[in-house]
Structure 1
């Protein structure tokens, strides 16, 4: 049976709207788990004593596995049923959260986080494809997708706050335990309130294609993030090149299979390809900037993690409200007008961030941050709605996975490219500094990152530490300002791109 739902012409009923509330639960946790761990890193480091490489994998492996498994999980939902996959994923997410909470070694925590990422990869495509089949009316579907996007934004906003509160009273494993009761609630209510959907003509999963898609995505995103962290080098370039090569073979294989993992014809639909390109650009200009905002608040202004989280939390509210406002904006304006206009607004926010050296407080940063978020906030809901509206209902899972993967790629690309630019400018500025009395080895150690400079400065006696720290902070702010200017230009270019690509999209 394809589904147990109302015919496509019907309006959504009460069961559907209650089901949307149930769907919102895993969406909030999905994004919370991308951010909440950052606050727990100091306690994890003190308890489990991981090496620098192991600590990096503890933080990153969750996002890597989510990105790598999205395509496979989206298509799997089309085949075995989206509700079934969602419930299986919820159970796995709960179990792996327990494993992470009670990990007794760094290696155990890395494995638990990897498995947690695989489970999380079932949540986004399953929930979005269920929305596609639950809400057939264009306006209702647009609003439901706006709610769906808003839940991710809300999770990202409350993650640092909730994490900070938990860590203030409990051990680091508590940030994982909060997932368990929510997943139990989803497993209890899901079979009652969520209908089942699947593609009755779907073939068998091609394991070779599933492996290729995961390897390609993991390799590319790993390479991008490593460039952001350590700069351009042989290993990240090899990873990106290898991922592109495997991805090329993947798409070639899909065009020859009778039952492909991804229907490559989806990319030939103008609306879908235009929306995906816009997604990538939007996340590119935003994600990299938020990485620098977090460092600015903590390492330049000297805030603690919880205080920095409270300053950035309102951006999640802006994204949530923007996502909910998207369907109303679309009723009065064409998609290309809303998205292009939003990018121009975000460019103003980026230009404000180019003036940070003129102040020593957080308010100018806060104003610029809120304006740039206000500009791009409706974009995700609008582009996601375009993708889901243009995709055939039986391919909703695959389409939602492609949409989510474009967000992951855009974010990773922004972090890698903008992160590399900030690092390069920072190192250049530090290299030109003359710091009499500061040992040359201390200056060399401070040249790599602002975080390293803070640690080195704390070990110097007298005026030498503050002198080095002031120079490092000045270099970082300069790098942040230059990158914000480049982001403003990128936002203007994105506005032109959206105005062109989305102009003829049917809404």
Structure 2
């Protein structure tokens, strides 16, 4: 059988392993939370540091750029010098960088601090996931442990804005970084006693040229897609993407010539690994895009404040949390293949429901649809993550974890950029011909470009009643959101059909993730 997860029926974990899992999960939650915690802090940062428009963009994006760029390097480094060692080095650096970010007095200092946070954060995700695999030898327990790890990862992104909102209500904006420090200190104290060290005996020296080439591949591609999402599609944004792809070709060629490559291309010859990676990427692609729209929809269309939007999102966050804890039961009962296929179908139903709710501009409809998406998305992502890491040889688990995380970063960036571009096109077509004669040229351009621009212009105009074009703009955004959800629903159905054939072809046994 191809791609059967090693370690079925291994010894059961004890209290030490489960406490170690808690420590790893909390560290992963903090890493994930830092991707979104600045969401509500930006107005306070702007007022305090007065960044330029370009600096503001880098403050927002540099953490994700550095995480995406260094994941593979740090995952492979963990395989070679020890995963626990890399995790502890990263945790110490994460704490120091958090303090530097909290007390930054200029925008440039904050950008540098966020970049250092990203590099340190890149050690946490692959190290924590690969150490989870090492801790739990029994497959049923490992499925459950990966579910708890996944809960922490998903919850970090969901609670980041909420925690940020509470802290900003009472403290300086730097507090959103200072909360990282006690968690990292606890990890530094507990990890040597709770976590086993693991390194590959076959690893050679880290090839620095491969590291440079991997960064030069990932960073321009992520940069291009993020700018596409922020400003809409423009031909010039394809330049960094094409540069990244060309460097990627050089990177792959170099990996083929090295005795100890940065990425073991042999992993992609494992059919279950590659198929699971593709499903994982596609799942993240649609969920990131849809949930970005949901957040904007709640604020720009329904008029909720950022904190109100975060509070209304708590029910869907609870669904994600509960499903993350219980997804292992679904996998153990139905097997890996059926769990993934059923999850994709539920996800397709959720995005179809979201399309209807968005078009109707219904708050309860959107929140209900997001819960359905969570019911389908969580088992798919956790099961495919388990297959990605579990089908790799144990000595390459760090590298496989890093590839999985990098795939998620790419999927998220692609989803936000491509679905964002589609929604922008729908919005601009809808606004074409709307009477904006009462506005000057710059104002009319802003209103026609994005709903955010329309809302800002409406605020500057003041007045007791909102201008007529604002309601039209909101309808255009809702229509664009609905179109993206319809595309997502249809594509997920097609993906389910393809996945069924691929998994059947590579002979993944439906009981391969079952309890033994």
Give me the TM-score of the superposition, normalised by structure 1.
Answer: 0.95
In the alignment, the residues of structure 1 paired with residue 304 and residue 324 of structure 2 have an alpha-carbon distance, to the nearest angstrom, of: 30
What is the distance in 2 between the residues matched to 1:433 and 1:355? 24
RMSD: 1.8
- 2:93 aligned partner: 92
In structure 2, distance between residues paired with 1:64 and 1:79: 24
**What whole-Å deviation, never above 9, does each CA across 1:332-372 have from its counterpart, x for those lacking one?**
22322211211211222222222236645411111111111
For 1:307 and 1:498, locate their aligned partners in 2 and report how far apart those are by CA, in whole Å: 38
Q: What's 1:505 paired with?
A: 508
Farther-moved stretch of structure 1 (99-108 vs 330-339):
330-339
On the 8 A contact 2:13/2:136 being kept in 1, the answer is yes
**2:508 aligned counterpart, secondary structure:** coil
Alpha-carbon spacing, 1:464–1:128, altered in 2? closer, same or farther (3 Å) = same
CA distance in 1, matches of 2:14, 2:361: 53
Partner of 2:157 in structure 1?
156
Structure 1 runs (4+) greater than 6 angstroms displaced: none
Aligned counterparts, 1:37-186, within 5 A: 37-186=38-187
CA positional deviation for 1:436: 5.7
Instruction: State how far apart, in whole Å, the 2-side matches of 1:141 and 1:357 are.
Output: 38
> What is the CA distance between 1:201 and its match in structure 2?
2.1
Please name the residue that 1:429 is paired with.
430
What secondary structure does 2:40 align onto?
A: helix
Could you tell me whether the CA contact under 8 Å between 1:318 and 1:377 is conserved in 2?
Answer: no
Map 1:90-489 onto structure 2 (within 5 A): 90-356=91-357, 359-435=360-436, 437-439=438-440, 441-460=442-461, 462=463, 465-489=466-490
Q: Which moved more, 1:401-410 or 1:441-450?
A: 441-450
**Cα shift readout 1:152-189 (whole Å, capped 9, x = no counterpart):** 12212221211110000011110000000010011011
With over 3 angstroms needed to count, the CA separation of the structure-2 counterparts of 1:146 and 1:49, relative to structure 1, is same
Residues 161 and 344 of structure 1, relative CA distance in 2, 3 Å threshold: same
Partners of 2:224 and 2:187 in 1: how far apart?
35
Whole-angstrom CA distance in 2 between matches of 1:477 and 1:261? 44
Q: TM-score, normalised by structure 2?
A: 0.94
Cα distance between partner residues in 2 of 1:304 and 1:387: 39
**Cα distance between partner residues in 1 of 2:502 and 2:316:** 27
Q: Deviation per CA, 1:176-214, whole angstroms, max 9, x where unpaired?
A: 000000100110111111111111221000000011111
Q: Would you say the 8 A contact 1:356–1:477 is kept in 2?
A: no
Aligned length: 502
Q: Which range moved further: 205-214 or 488-497?
A: 488-497
User: 1:47-66 deviations in whole A, cap 9, x for unaligned?
Assistant: 11111111111011101110
| 1:438 to partner: Cα distance | 4.5
Aligned equivalents of 1:7, 1:295: Cα separation in 2:
44
Aligned residue in 2 for 1:30: 31
For the 8 Å contact 2:272–2:391, the answer to whether it is kept is yes
Cα offset for 1:376?
A: 1.1
1:68 is displaced (CA, Å) by 0.7
Distance 2:351 2:33 in 1: 25
**Structure 2 equivalent of residue 3 of structure 1:** none
**SS of the residue aligned with 2:119?**
helix
| 2:340–2:379 contact (8 Å) kept in structure 1 | yes
